[in-house]
Structure 1
Amino acid sequence: MGFADHIKEIERVGQGSNTGRDALVVESWRRCLETYQLDPAEAREAVIVSQARLREHRQQAEDLVHIARSGLERLYRQVAEQNYVLLLSDQQGVTVEFLGDPSFNNNLRKAGLYLGSDWSEPRAGTCAVGACLATGEPLTIHQTDHFDITHTPLSCTAAPIYDTQGALVAVLDISLLSSPILKASQNMARHLVSSTVRRIELANLMANSRHDLVLRFAGAPEFLDVDPEAAISVDGAGLITGMTHGGARLLAASRGIDWRQPERVIGQPVTDFFEADLDELASLTRASLPQDRRIAVRDGSVLFAHAIEPQQRVVAVPLVRSVQPESAISRLGGSVDAIDNLRRKVAKLAPSALPILLQGETGTGKEYLARIIHEVSGVSGRFVAVNCAAIPEQLIESELFGYVPGAFTGALAKGRKGLVEEAAGGTLFLDEIGDMPYAAQSRLLRVLAEGEVLPVGGSVARKLEFRVVSASHRPLGDMVAAGSFRQDLFYRLNAATLSLPRLCQRGDLPWLIDRLLEKHAAPGRALRLSPAARVLILNHSWPGNIRELDNAIAFAAALCESCLIEIADLPEHLAGSSPDTGDDHPEAALRAVLSACHGNISEAARRLGIDRTTMHRRMRRLGIGRPH
């Protein structure tokens, strides 16, 4: 669409015409025209606020950024390979946290996809951050949805973040400088952003409700303990003290009130919303199975609940280890020799204090393994993940080690605790350690050797105790030989090394597929693959490993019309890779699986998720003889 056509469409919308745009976009265009008096013909270049203003905005948002950091870095790792940029904006629309490829900094800054950019709707016109702030809803503003012609190359997807009292305090956005034409291409982006926001809000509620009962809710028992949809906190008197946005919607729906009026929920008795008293709610702990933790809501619906008892105040956080249930180790993979061997090593190494180095290609699940090691180790502190490749070189020391007040221009007035100190009593996970600048390697070595950290600009070191797990897709031994990685640091980090295989080398691929189908299914609905789609997935080489597989399943889950994923729902590079295994060719599909399994019927049945009897019956029906 050209400049003139874009202006004409906006003018027609202003005159009341229906041009087929999404309602949220139309409403935003009208606000821009009528409320903000913006001219669509006037170019509105990106505005980056001054360093002084940015410092103020970041200081006000510091607590939220601190809680959200792990979720933001995890989301960025999921989308960075697709060239997305991640922005966290405050309630004024100013970007207070930014993650993007540094090699594109000039282009990103010019487009406004940068730290300090102002994306408020009155200033930038229709955009994802501004429209999200105005509506309180997750949305995508795709290319010509933007009011300003200067922003039409962009595709931006955003979701609101609410605080525990129901106020919209920030917006999480991922954006592309250029993207496919179809807006539907961003469905998976919206799913990922909304999932991350849900986790951030839950972490915020847990951090602010340590001395209250926390109740988590899900529509299906399978998701209750791993990915709850809503949560609330309740004090000793049975009054509601906090909630996630999902919790706000749940409570409002139970009484038929507007979720945009949190004052009608906060401070009210929890028994006004559920058919249970406080003691009954508090008893819904992990002592019983998830499917037994049903709770009736006042609107007649039934949910599954998980009660987390109030935490006691803790003065110190020592490295106290306890026995961890086998469930954490069982999540490593299916029952095949390579994974069973990995499980045995983790069970032995995790409770020890040995530094562990994880080696494996990008996307093989190194952080996932690190989190399991943390869980099995029994340490009482936090798991703090640091992506050494994502932090700009000039900021890595202040991010890792913190800084004292006034340490440098732009520093927060009260200083800042570093990520290493955040891991005290827990696990410090150094992801992509091979990308850490050489100078920072020296400082990290000193921290590991002496067990203390000196903040930037400080003069007094702080004693710390923490567990170190590091990871790299680079061969660190070769880097040491080439002189690009410190030998002494290498030996500090790899007292034990665990290697993760490529996905195409894993014999438990069917197990992984089933777990990801469970992960991305809608609440209360089982997500399945058609036989042909399963064959296509089993035979793909997966150069992006588990991350690519996860993205493919998430993409298909967002596109499929029912609970059955067909080949057409898979990403294009998969759906177009094997025309002979479509749904119209079940014989070819079955032969392809048998071929991949070298004629082993038991293995083929396992990959297809069926028993041997069903496999034989299917072969007879399709006229496929027993392979030699």
Structure 2
Amino acid sequence: MSNNEQIKASWKRCELFGLEQSNQPELQRLGVGDQNSLNEEYYNLIQTTGTEVLPYYENILSNTQCLILLTDNQGQALNSWGDKRFLAPPQRALFKKGIDWKEKKNGTNAIGTALACGTAVQIQRDDHFLKANRFMIGSAAPIYDVNRTLLGVLDISTDSYLPQSHTLGMVKLMSQSIENRLIISTFSEDNFLFTFNTNFDNLDSQWSGLIVFNEGGTIISANRRAEILLCYDLALANIADIFDISLEQFKNQPSNLPFSFKAMGKYQMHGFTKAPIKKAIQAVDYRERLKSKPDPDIIPLSQFGFGDEKVSRCIEQAERIINKDIPILIHGETGVGKEVFVKALHQSSQRHKHPLVAVNCAAIPSDLVESELFGYEKGAFTGASTKGAIGFIRKAHKGTLFLDEIGEMPLKVQSRLLRVLQERKVTPLGSTENYHVDIKLISATNRSLREDVESGTFRQDLYYRVSGLNLELPSLRERTDRKQLFHQINDMYSNAANSQKLSTEIIKLFSQHPWPGNIRQLVSVIQIAQAMSDGNVIETKHLPDDFFEDIKQTNSYQKTEDNIHHGQADVTSEPIATRDDSVDNQTELINTFHQNKGNISKTAKALNISRNTLYKRLKEFGVR
């Protein structure tokens, strides 16, 4: 059926569903729990789309106002990427996670119609059944898994900036890219991959055929393009029966080296073979493997969250601000991933080709902070380098300056920093020359800077200068998407040659843990567990002993709380600081917290309570 025929058939279905053109779109979303379950089920699809496929089209998409939406095979929105500026605020609700795009809910639309007909479609403005949806043009293509089962739909929605044929062709290409990536990630470890095309110059194209065969030559998977090129059903066929070269010749071809051959005795083809990863890894120089290993601390912004509302809001707000001259102040407990978040922000900004300079204000001795930040001329002070130093701020010119733990900055230095931020000029110590600086400022703290302003330890004028947009990253124990986060971090630090999965029991334990050290602690626990495991599954026996201490404290505290609620509390079972919610006790806890400058461990020790108990009380009393 042609595109127009598909649209006509869709309108008939909408009428049978009882829809009217004047109906408003269905905006009811899945609950958070259901969204998290979907994210977990479609984790590989979301990751493949966002981190392996979309970056290849960044240059094209960055020059257009379009939004990319990924759904499951029921039309439920899983994730979105791109520019929402062409959408009016009410229209943006349509593109949130958990919205159902089936025709029965939202009439003729690119996603719903692609699901219904199983092929790529383009729905222009007036093609939409619901009048309320006629503000956009949607182009969507289905995505099939390695078993040729419908997995989901990829959609590009735009305000018609791009030529319509261009958009439809692009979404087809992107869906084919996703399918190819899924095939490669599923089978490449133990099987041969064979890529071929009729044109030698197009071998790197996503429109090439892709065949997976095992040691015996049996074809165990292929993309749709392979069957189109060969006009042949490849299921369980032997590769030597299709091409005019022997199985041994296929297997012994140097990886990625193109060669020519005939298919089905008549079609001239070109292609190359890739050996199984297990074999290839033995032949690759370990130094090259180290070079190609990605930095696990740099992740795309889209991967930072998996549906947690607070994290999603932080990402959405930060994306709006990152390319504007507005400073960002990030709040959050130690270890929640503030620096990782900043790295992701920098990579997604227009400054990503320039330096990201991270400065931990608490780690630099107070008498050196000034010279480290602003730089100095040679001989500016005793012990100064004879060459002088440029300073962190000038190093960040045209890039991003990240001031971590900014609340620890001495007052004297705060005054100079304020002047730099106001004038955008730096004067090194011992110099009379000013240097212009163009920086994006991002700061972070685990303290309440407002309270520091009131106590006089932080300048009020500097506070308002650095806190343009305030973001609060939630603790790991508060995040509703932490299960997906457990899997993501495990994958990030897993050895590609020996991928290790987290057992169901591990996930349950991780979900019960209070994680006082947040993501930093999670990374440490996972790295230790991976090192302790020789198999493919990480189990409880591989966890470090101190992991269970916090769980014991949590269970003990919960038991005490339950007894209190049931009138069975033993007056000696818990220190008074955790039992008494009186004003005096609240004051004592808050005062102790501030006396220890927000240090959780020191405060808990001073009050003779566990860190988890302290976290709970601080939250109850509204202390950040």
Query: Scaled by the length of structure 1, what TM-score is found?
Result: 0.47
Query: Scaled by the length of structure 2, what TM-score is found?
Result: 0.47
Q: Which of these two proteins has the greater Rg computed from alpha carbons?
A: 2
